[in-house]
Each structure stands twice: as structure tokens, then as C-alpha cells.
A and B are shown apart, each in its own frame.
Chain A
């Protein structure tokens, strides 16, 4: 019998993993890596400060949304706490014309796309099925069904191919598509199917897998016999494993994969090794299935801390951090006020986006529903 007590063992990530791409150590020192270091050489201190600001503000948004759920203002909240580097690093590597298919935890990626993060709250307050226009920032709506959007991304990428927006050599025109999903999604059939189609069609798609170690309560070790980045090889997709808590490495690795996709080189599978520092969602209690020791281990690998150490060593003034803290506080308050002011949506809104054009059956159903709603003695059950 195979012992299955994987929980509680110290996870193996970091220096002992030779395949892991890392450009910034946990103590904030730069590492030279032949392939990837040149891709971040152009990032000066101001650019790094920008990445730091991204991560701090996204974390502030995330903690505020978590608190709002506890206030009773949101029905549910999936935290991205701990995954900021994976999301910001990869997101900042994208070009405006690239398209993203997120799952439901990609608040950081949304931020890099220029999405007003407050719009994310609508869905989790139960007032909208999406919250934003996907075309506006080339950032699709959150997908709650695990892994299904890997297919959407692949199909979209094949569309990009057919539009001729691949391999033209024109940096303004060539486009790539990124599907963000987690370690749990790799166990879904949809993701495997997506990789089959992406590989044989050389679709310009990047599969960006944030391995945050836990599919709710199921550890990655119980889902795969091989490291996830090696999944791609069976499909003919090159895989790379990157330190997901290293914003520079995530940037570089994504940059390379995007370039391959845009130039017609086909898909890439990226495994960003990170950690879900919070619960799966606000409905989950991780203390039931993982140990304090494990959480403490990962706390020492906080993606924000290591960049701060680096910036301090590089001479970023303390005033920068103070000002950013103040900005983050104000941002938190703004999120809070906005959330409470989200108007109640009319129930009939559900009919609005079923079809792009008017549709007689939907119209008939809407009419029936409006009449039904009007039939109640009290308008709205809520006081």
C-alpha cells in the first residue's frame, strides 16, 4: 500500500528544485539565468516599484473583499492572497491585444488588464453574472466551472490564427491568448482536451497554471504522479516550471511563452509554483486539512516580501513604501464604500445577455417573468 499522508510534509519548492526558474530569491537577491534574465533586463527600478505597487494594491483589494464577505456584504469571496506575483508578473507581460480567459481568482491579472477591480464585486454580491465587458480590456468574465475555459481559450486562439493575427512579425498585430487555471483544473478532462487541440493546431495559447498546492482540500501530490509542468510533453506542448512567488521570473517566463505563441510557435504550458495563503473561498476552513507548519513555511516565501527586500537593497526610499501604504488604505476604503453602494439589480436582468440580438422566445419568457414578479403582494422580499 502506498502511504497517502502527504499532508503535513514540508513542501519541496525552492533551491532544491533544479527545474524551477527563479530570478529573485526569497531574500531578494537577483539570480542570473541564461534564457530568462535578458527578458527582464529592461525593467529598471521604477518598473520594479510599479510591480510592487501592483501586488500591494491587489492584496489590499483582496483582503478588503474578504472582510466585506465577513461583513455580510458579499455572498462569497475567493482570495488570491499569496498568488500576487504569479498574476502580476504574467499579467504585466501581456500586450494590450492579447486576450485572457481567467478562472475566478485572477484579481491580479484583471488589475494588469486595466479592469476596475470594483466591478468584480458585483458578481460576488449576487447582483451580476459577470460585471464587465470582456472586449473592453480583452479580459473575459470569470469562469467558475473548473477548467472549462481552457477550451474557450484554445478555440479563441484558433480564431486568432484564422484571423491571420499570428506570425506576421508585426508586434502590434500578433496576438496570444492566455488561459489561467489552477492545479485542480489539470485533473479536468476539459484541460486535457484543450491541450490536444492547442498542440495539433499550434494555437497561439499559453496555459498558465497557478499551482497553489491545494484544489480546495486536495493536495497536488494526490492529483498527479509527475510535476504539472511535464503534463504538456505528452501532448507535444513545451512546459516550464517557474517560481510563482517570483514576480520577475513569472514575467520572463510568460513573456517567452507569449512570444512563441504570437510568432506561430504554438502553445506553452507554464506551471507557476505558488501557494494559496488564504482559504479556498470564504466558505472554506483550511485548518481542517493542512498544517500550520506548512502555512508558516510558505509565509517565508511571500511574493511581496522578497521584492520589497530587493527594492530596499536597490535604494528605494522608505517614503515610497509609506506613501504606498497610505494609497492602499485609501483604496481599501474606496472598495468598501463602493461595495455597499452597488445597486440591487432587477431580477429580469437575467434575460439581457442570453443572445446578442433580440430573440422572440427570450422576450416571451421575460414578459411572463415580469408579470409573475408583479404578482407579489410585497415588492421585493428584502426590507
Chain B
């Protein structure tokens, strides 16, 4: 007899009320052992892997990656006695939906009581759910109005309205062999959304590969009445003209940070166009250098070094406005942030104490930072306490922009595309490598003069890296 046990999202951090599901480590049909990692969740405090409380077979994944779930919500169903069940992946979802209430009251109990902290950080209290008082007079047989509000209805497996009419299969009926599941996981393909073309609707390797190809740049789909494709995914409105997608962790945080920054710090931006031919020559030379053979040398590296040198000449720009105390906080260090576009959205990890690094060390740190960000493994620690940021809009072929400050910082440099342009060089018009720099500053504490000097000095090193010898 199969025995189904639900696993409810626990409070992993004393008084947390919700968490984001980041990544499922298992799929339906997987056999799991006790304490095998099931899922990675992200709370307000940290990334945490939840170990399985039971041994058995995963029969249902109730919440998709990306969803925000309240503590106490069932997130997965495990069959702890799969022997005698029809077939691990053939188990009818109707049977499985009658989940045992075996997950005892611990999760919901935590939800109520864990607002009080014994040791560790302070927490905010979980919303108190009150038990109704018994009526003063003998109550009639009518049941009390509402039982204590359970920890929110389970987030339904979000049904994706796909336009081609193929309703996405709920996760419990996904048919795919383990190697195909592994491939899909490696490629980041959600099997819920892959139509199976194999016998009996089994998803084949080819289906996954095709899906991966479709999702390369951005998933596109043709909507009725329109021969040009638009975005796919999310919940499509009834008239088929809009798609709604919930705002999730990184996007939400980006939005918060940008609103906070744009509407508290008055921005002013200064621009400079600069001939970086000598920087390009230096980059080419360093690429040949054996000492740099283990890392990538890019113009961004020289720009980072140039900015660091400029800040060291004008250290008052490494500062922050503390509104609460009405103080300006001057930082005696440079934690250099690099805005990185990642699969999970925009993140701005920073290189700690970048001012102490030699060029090679800085190159390695830059390489590590981008590799970590691309792999989606940037830690919260890497994103805190930045002092200045570079956004390399040049990689998109853009001349420059007016960047918005990373909150808590006083300056941000936009590094534009480098292209050959006609340029007056030694009195003659020559094709030269030219780029545009833009520096936004928090005008509450940085005046135009200071920002301009920092930008001009950055540009000067890029125009002639030998200047670094003088200032370094």
C-alpha cells in the first residue's frame, strides 16, 4: 500500500513567514533517502537546502521553482511505501491527491510560536492567528465561524495557459526517463512545459533538446491574429493580448533598490568621450603575457583599475549618505561592484577591497565574480557593502547611459561600447578606438566638481594607462 506523506515548508529561521522556492533537486518519480536534499529555498536570511524527512518516492511536487510560499504550505508529497503501487511514475494523480495528514502539527506550530527568539538574530513576529473565544452563552450546535486560518491555501501548481492549446501537464503526470530528466535539469528546461512526442506521451531526449532550442533567446509564440511571434509564458489574458508574470525575488529586489535609489538620491550624470587606443594595445599585450594566461583580460579590467586609481585620488567619493543619523559615511576601502546580467536577473556582486589588488589579482577576482554570477551562485554577502559600481553597458553595443546608483553607494560608472571612430590625433584625423564614459553621483553628498574629477581621471588612465604608474 502506498503511503503518502506531505512535507510542509518549515520555518528554517525563527520567525520567517515565507520563502522562495529556488530549485528542486528532485522530480516526480525520484526515489529519495532520508535527509537527501529535496529543494533549495531562499529566505530573507539565506539560501537553505531542505533535507527529506522521509525515504520513499516523490509523487508530487506541489510548488514550482520561483514561487513564494508561506510557511506551513505543503510543497511535496512523498510515497513512503511505494511497494505495491502501480509504477513509480504511473501512480494516478487522483490517488495521490488524497495526501495523508501525517505531517504532524509541527510546521504550523512553528508558524505560531517561533516569533520569540532564544538566540541568534532578532526576528519579526509571525502574524498572530488568534483562536476564537467560546461564546459566553451555551453555544448552539452551529460550528464556530471559521477554524483558525490555516497557513494559506497551497499554491496550486501554476497552470500555464499555453497558446498552442496544449494544456501543460501537471507535474505528477510527467513521463520521462531519468537521463532525459537529468538533461532537462542541466539545460534548465521545465518538463511541465515540454510536450512529449514519444509513445504514450513520454518526453524524449529530442523533445527536451527542441525545447532548449526554442528557449534560447527568449521563448516566442505566435498569437492568434498576429503572424509575428511575441513572448510566451506566464498567464495570458483572455483576449490573448497580454501576459502577466508575478514579480519574483531578484526582479522584485531590483525594483525595490532602484526605486529607493532613484527617489532618495538626486542623481546627476557627467559624460566623457575618450580615446582608449592605448588601453586596447595594453589589453592585447596583457593577453599575450604569460602571467595573465590563467585569466581573461578585457577593457573592463583596465576601466576598473582606472576607476580605482581615480577614487584613490579623490577618496571622498567613496562615501554614503546615512539618512537616519544625518551623517556622511566615508569608506576607507573600495568594494567594487560589477552589475551582472544573470539567468536570475540583475545582480551587483562586488569585489571586496579591490583597492588592494594588483592588476592580475583584480583580473582573477573579476573573472570569478562573473562566473559565479552567471552560475547563479552569488551569495548575499557578495552583494552587500559595495562602495562603487561599474555597469558595462558596452557589451550590448551601447554608447553609454545614465546609470542609477546601487543603493548605499555614491557613484556608478557606465562603460560604453568601444568602437573605431574618426578622431583628431596629433593634428590629423585618424581612426581611433573611442568609448564614452558616464558617471552618475548622489548629489546630496557629491558635487559636480568631485564627480567630474573622478570621471576625468578615470578617462585619463584609460587614454594613457601609463598614467597608472604615476598615480598607482
Contact = CB atoms under 8 A, between A and B. Distances in A.
A64 B107 CA distance: 17
Interface of B: 7-14, 34-35, 45-51, 53, 101, 103-110, 112-114, 118-121, 123, 129, 131-135, 139, 144, 147-148, 150, 332-333, 352-353, 379-381, 384
Given A70-B10, A376-B133, A76 B119 contact: yes
A377 B131 contact: yes
A144 B353 CA distance: 36
10 contacts: A70-B51, A71-B10, A71-B50, A75-B113, A78-B119, A281-B14, A283-B45, A284-B120, A287-B380, A288-B46
A381 B129 contact: yes
Nearest to A5: B353
A318 interface: no
B379 A288 contact: yes
Given A72-B110, A287-B380, A288-B384, A377 B133 contact: yes
Contact of B11 (A72, A280, A375): A72
B10 A104 contact: no
B45 A285 contact: yes
Given A72-B11, A284-B121, A287-B379, 16 more contacts: A5-B333, A64-B35, A69-B12, A70-B12, A72-B9, A75-B110, A76-B118, A126-B109, A144-B118, A280-B119, A281-B14, A281-B119, A340-B104, A375-B134, A377-B135, A383-B108
Nearest to A76: B14
A363 B352 CA distance: 60
Contacts of B12: 69-70, 282-283
A285 B46 contact: yes
A283 B10 contact: no
B120 A283 contact: yes
Given A72-B11, A378-B132, A287 B381 contact: yes
Contact of B105 (A69, A287, A382): A382
A216 interface: yes
A333 B34 CA distance: 9
A288 B380 contact: yes
Given A377-B139, A378-B148, A381-B112, A72 B106 contact: yes
Contacts of A280: 119-120
Interface string A269-304: 000000000001111110111000000000000000
A72 B8 contact: yes
A284 B380 CA distance: 13
Contact of A289 (B7, B14, B120, B381): B381
A40 interface: no
B8 A381 contact: no
A46 B468 CA distance: 66
A238 B427 CA distance: 80
Nearest to A73: B106
Nearest to A125: B106
A288 B381 contact: yes
Chief secondary structure at chain A's binding surface: loop
A336 interface: yes
Nearest to A105: B119
A135 interface: no
Name the interface size band of chain A. 35 or more
Contacts of B118: 76, 104, 144
Contacts of A8: 352
A32 B14 CA distance: 47
A1 interface: yes
B50 A378 contact: no
B114 A75 contact: yes
A67 interface: yes
A3 B144 CA distance: 63
Nearest to A217: B121
B464 to A, nearest CB: 32
Interface of A: 1, 3, 5, 8, 64, 67, 69-73, 75-76, 78, 104, 125-126, 144, 216, 280-285, 287-289, 333, 336, 340, 344, 375-378, 381-383
A376 B114 contact: no
Contacts of A378: 131-132, 144, 147-148
Contacts of A70: 10, 12, 48-51
Contact of A76 (B47, B51, B120, B129): B120
Contacts of A283: 12-14, 45, 120-121, 123
Nearest to A378: B131
Given A5-B333, A67-B51, A144-B118, A72 B10 contact: yes
A216 B379 CA distance: 18
Contacts of B150: 383
A47 B97 CA distance: 54
A216 B45 CA distance: 14
A284 B119 CA distance: 10
A98 B47 CA distance: 42
A216 B117 CA distance: 14
A192 to B, nearest CB: 21
B235 to A, nearest CB: 31
Nearest to A379: B131
Nearest to B113: A126
Nearest to B14: A283
A336 to B, nearest CB: 7
A73 B50 CA distance: 12
Contacts of B148: 378, 381
Given A71-B51, A76-B120, A376-B131, A382 B10 contact: no
B114 A144 contact: no
Contact of B134 (A67, A78, A104, A377): A377
Contacts of B48: 70
A290 to B, nearest CB: 9
A73 B53 contact: yes
Closest 7 CB pairs of A and B: A72-B10, A285-B46, A382-B105, A71-B53, A283-B13, A72-B107, A283-B120
B39 to A, nearest CB: 10
Given A283-B45, A287-B381, A378-B147, A104 B119 contact: yes
Contacts of B109: 126, 382
A225 B106 CA distance: 45
A372 to B, nearest CB: 10
Most buried by B among A280, A281, A344, A375: A281
A381 B134 CA distance: 13
Contacts of A76: 14, 114, 118-120
Contacts of A340: 104
A144 B119 contact: yes
B132 A281 contact: no
A377 B138 CA distance: 11
